Each structure stands twice: as C-alpha cells, then as structure tokens.
Structure 1
Amino acid sequence: MEKANNMMTDNEMMCWHALYTAPKSEHKLMQCLNAAGYTTYCPMQAVFVKWKGRTRKVIAPLFSGCLFVVGNVAEVTSLASSQKAAILVDKEGKSLSIEAGKAELPAKFAQLLKL
C-alpha cells in the first residue's frame, strides 16, 4: 500500500484516481483513506447559500461527491467499496485516472467531464 506524502507540492505530477461517494460524505471517505495511508485531495470552493433569511458562506466540494486518491487501483477499490464509494470509470470501463499535479487536477477533471 502506498503511504501518504504530506510534503507533496502542488506541481508534483501524480496519478490520481477519481472516486465517487454520496454527496456530503467526501470528508468521511477522505479520513478513512488518509488513515489507511493514502494521499487524497478534494478541491473545495466557497459557496454563498441563503439560509433562514441570511446569506452565509459555506465551504463545499468543487465536484459534489467526488474526491481523488493516489494508490493501487485494486486496493483503493476494495477500501472504497467498504465505505460505499466507487472508482469512476471512463467510456472503456477503465478506472478514471488523471496524471496531474494537485494544482491542475480540478481543471483536467472538469475537461474530462466535458468529453
């Protein structure tokens, strides 16, 4: 199993696998994967929501229900399925993996979604 590298820079190229989980469960899945030694990333954004007549700033995932992990696909799939999550696949049924640095990962994933 690959261990997390907490000193990773935003420009370091890695092979990320996209995972899907229930919306609002991203943080729990990230904690589970991090505890198992995986490097994870869930890009976040500030969103303004109206609640009880007031506008509030909330930090939410950029891609609801999605996060990214670096590691062996078979091991990640096994752990993800135990947490009610799944690896996203491409049109050919292969795991959706993106070779990118952390900084450009959201843009590359958004580009893949447009295809």
Structure 2
Amino acid sequence: MAADRFRNADVTTLEFEKRYIHKQGHPIWASVTVSLVSSSSGAPSHFITHIKDITLRKHAEQALRESELRYRELFENATDMIFTTDLDGRFTSVRGLALQSGLLVLPRRLRCLGCGYG
C-alpha cells in the first residue's frame, strides 16, 4: 500500500494510474496522487489523496493507438503508391509495393531523401 512506499523511501508524494471497477461492473481509470502530511515534529500525521477520473483520456489514447496501427498497416502494405510531402512539396515518405519491388522508379526530381528509395 502507499504507506509502505512512504516508509521505505524518502518521498512525500506518489502519483500513479489505477483501474477501478465501477459498482455497475465497467472499468474506470483514475489518476491517483497521495501526499504524506507530517506534523510539526516531522512525524507522519496523515495522507491526502486526490483521485481524478481519466477514463475518457484512456479511451482516447486507445482509439489513437488503434488508428495509428490501421494507418501504418495500410501505408506499409499498400499496392498503390502512397506518399506524404512537407509544406514545400518535398517528399517525406514514399511507400508502395510497386516502388519497393523496383517496378516503379521515381524520376530524379521526385526522389525522396531519407525514404530509402531512389
């Protein structure tokens, strides 16, 4: 428990994330901050605990991870050529099986520095 962590280390505040189960059975994520309050003599007196619901943030982080995975799989396994450019029109990434296999060769003016092709 938190009291043991305070006794075994020279800390006065602990922060961690924890998953709780709601009484209706669904998970709730929380950011927990526990602070040790000491008396004027320096002896531990009591704890102050702050619990913040971060369930929506956790759902958003999971949705972002899933979206990034879908994009990466699409980008890396595309049979069509897919590319990105910066605001100056320079290629920043180029992918596609035709390009990787050498069936498609970019003209020199379109080559992408750092993309591994051309």
What range describes the TM-score normalised by the shorter chain of this pair? under 0.3
TM-score under structure 2 normalisation? 0.24
Q: Which is higher, the Rg of structure 1 or of structure 2? A: 2
Q: TM-score, normalised by structure 1?
A: 0.24
